Structure 1
Amino acid sequence: MFSKFKEIIRGINAINTTPFTENKEIDWELLGQNIDYLLTNGIKAIYPCGNTGEFYSLTIEEAKEVTRFVVERNKGRAKVIAGIGYDYKTASHLAKYYEDIGADGIMIHQPINPFMQENGLIEYYNSIATSTHLPILLYVRQQNITINVLRQVAQLPNVVGIKYAVNDLISFAKTVQEVNEDVVWVCGSAEMWTPFFFIAGAEGFTSGLVNVDTKRSFQLLDALKDKRFTEAMQIWNEIRPFEELRERYMNGNNVSVVKEAMNQLGLSNGVVRAPLSRLSTEEVNELKVTLKDWGILTELTK
């Protein structure tokens, strides 16, 4: 079931940005340009309302509007897999809405409730999964979503993938081995961690970098698929300064770096919503050096 969908997510899973105007309203023109850029450059899975899309800075109505816009802009060229979250009723409501407007799948964000128990998590995921016919990916960011939870939830017929973003490779490897279900494991920590997750069982990865430069992400994917690990690590080393800048402040820079890089390349304007903020002058200059080293920032794009 969902074999074609699974094949798509065994590649690059692009988390698009949500551009904002200077007064922090959604900039629909820039959002359209962002989606067009991804599609033109060969991306086959696009995730509106992911964390790089600042999902938790959007209202529920904005999340609906963004997803509808992306579905309509996409015109069936890629799989649109939209993020949902909050309480299970809200998440189920969004899942039904996304199905009605023609999204291809949904990604359930890590629950934000500070208190979680295994039985409660299983009930949470089951309630959402039974509200839609769409294929589902779970987004795991904390180990309190245990192996036992994942083992049981992975048995649901429309749970097809697990985006794993806990950077503990031993725990990830154990989880892949023990959750013996037909799900696709996706490295949820982007290119910085992808080579290591692939060795442990991942088959695809999420990327914010592709909003800036798709070439290196595809080069990394191709090298890993072909088991050309020396080449993969050379590409990883090129990407590393960008991803290390994103990881600063306990990943607080994650979105700001992507948006500022897009700004420097003339692809967006760099505006983020609180609680995020724009990069410091020093970080802007540091990022500029990386983009110049990659050969994609020239005098004409400044």
Structure 2
Amino acid sequence: MAAMVNGDVVERLREGMANGVLSFPLTSFRADGSLDLESFREYVAAQAATGPGALFPACGTGEFFSLDEDEYRQVVTAAVEESAGRVPVVAGIGYGWAQAVRFAAIAEEAGADALLVLPHYLVCGPQSGLVGQVEQIASRTRLPLIVYQRDQVTFNAESLTAIAALPNVIGLKDGHSDLDRLQRLTLAAPDGFLFFNGAATAEIQARAYAAVGVPAYSSAVHAFAPEIAAGFFTALRDGGDAQVDRLLREFYVPFVEIRDRVPGYGVSLVKAAARLRGRPVGPVRAPLADPTPADLADLERVLAAGLDLVSAPSDSAPTGAAR
């Protein structure tokens, strides 16, 4: 089934990655844990309106792991409809390849532009198995694939070359932050292959990734504070080292310190911050847990500091300026 990728999709993604952060929308649930599609529609429309490089619904931040197939269909369809063609929509797929293919078919029917292949479920495999997983999916969908390496999925240069040779595999999202390995992968990849930084709270490592030729990144912060995410992206792009350092010191690092207190806070804190901003995205689903009152109070303080930094006049002096 795999076919040559529509070059327009790749170019739209390339342009988006060069000019904005990649948005990973939250999935809205009601207090009883059921899908709140109306709230999700409002939320994802607001995300699209801020002009991210692309929307990635039903991925890690969107709690893909907790969605059944019908909920997944509703979420991806809503994201496509609410984005209204303004930005590319890249839907998450995962588990074993057979189940990933089922999700891929749903996403294609819903109108998604591309797919993000999340790490497979539970087991570890050799390099040949990691390549085989991607081959099985790629041969059964017409949509372009971006492969996500993190946790038990780590490609070496030979394997990256093998999957990049598949006609509809267009890129790699990296969540390992092993810059030595990543540099080897970028050198092994064909011209035009897309890479982006998918580390948790990617802004912390954005400078380091850019140094090995991977300036594009996903932003969990965009899910609740697009103005902070955009402020950081602009300062980093334009050489505003002083503002980058201020945002790292006063917002991103304190946010990460709260995130690291409890497993799963990488999603739970993001959702809690969106609620603090007035977005009715609801709670997380088990096995995640919402933040404790004490952690929520710390989050509110850090969020206020970040918003103050991007709303106040700042020194956006070029690289090398005193700070």
TM-score, structure 1 length as denominator? Answer: 0.90
Q: Relative to structure 1, is the Cα distance of residues 264 and 144 closer, same or farther in structure 2, using a 3 angstrom cutoff?
A: closer
Q: Is the 2:23–2:219 contact (alpha carbons within 8 Å) kept by the matching residues of 1?
A: yes
Does residue 82 of the first structure (1) align with residue 82 of the second (2)? no
Aligned to 2:137: 128
Q: Tell me how far apart the structure 2 counterparts of residues 168 and 195 of structure 1 sit (CA, whole Å).
A: 14
User: How far off is 1:171 after superposition?
Assistant: 2.5
User: How far off is 1:279 after superposition?
Assistant: 0.5
For 1:287, which of 299, 318, 322 is the aligned residue? 299
User: How far off is 1:53 after superposition?
Assistant: 0.4
Q: Is the 2:204–2:248 contact (alpha carbons within 8 Å) kept by the matching residues of 1?
A: yes
Aligned to 1:17: 26
Q: After superposition, where does 1:186-205 map in structure 2 within 5 Å?
A: 186-189=196-199, 190-205=202-217
For 2:261, which of 236, 241, 248 is the aligned residue? 248
For 2:188, which of 178, 189, 214 is the aligned residue? 178
Aligned to 2:46: 37
Does residue 61 of the first structure (1) align with residue 59 of the second (2)? no
1:210-259: CA deviation from partner (whole Å, max 9, x where unpaired): 12111222222233334444543333333222233223335x20111011
1:104-131: CA deviation from partner (whole Å, max 9, x where unpaired): 1110001124131222221210121122
Which AA in structure 2 matches 1:249? V
Gaps of 5+ in 2: 1-6, 309-323
Q: Helix, strand or coil: the match of 2:134?
A: helix
- In terms of mean alpha carbon deviation, does 172-181 or 115-124 score higher? 172-181
For 2:165, which of 155, 161, 185 is the aligned residue? 155
Does residue 91 of the first structure (1) align with residue 103 of the second (2)? no
User: How far off is 1:294 after superposition?
Assistant: 2.7
Q: Tell me how far apart the structure 2 counterparts of residues 125 and 144 of structure 1 sit (CA, whole Å).
A: 11
User: How far off is 1:268 after superposition?
Assistant: 2.2
Q: Helix, strand or coil: the match of 1:204?
A: coil
Which AA in structure 2 matches 1:235? L
Which AA in structure 2 matches 1:26? L
Q: Is the 1:209–1:258 contact (alpha carbons within 8 Å) kept by the matching residues of 2?
A: yes
Count of aligned residue pairs for this structure pair: 295
Q: Is the 1:6–1:161 contact (alpha carbons within 8 Å) kept by the matching residues of 2?
A: no
Which AA in structure 2 matches 1:195? R
Q: Is the 2:27–2:281 contact (alpha carbons within 8 Å) kept by the matching residues of 1?
A: no
User: How far off is 1:31 after superposition?
Assistant: 0.6
Q: Is the 1:154–1:181 contact (alpha carbons within 8 Å) kept by the matching residues of 2?
A: no
Q: Is the 2:117–2:145 contact (alpha carbons within 8 Å) kept by the matching residues of 1?
A: yes
Which AA in structure 2 matches 1:32? R
User: How far off is 1:292 after superposition?
Assistant: 2.0
User: How far off is 1:180 after superposition?
Assistant: 4.4
Aligned to 1:299: none
Which AA in structure 2 matches 1:245? I
Aligned to 2:148: 139
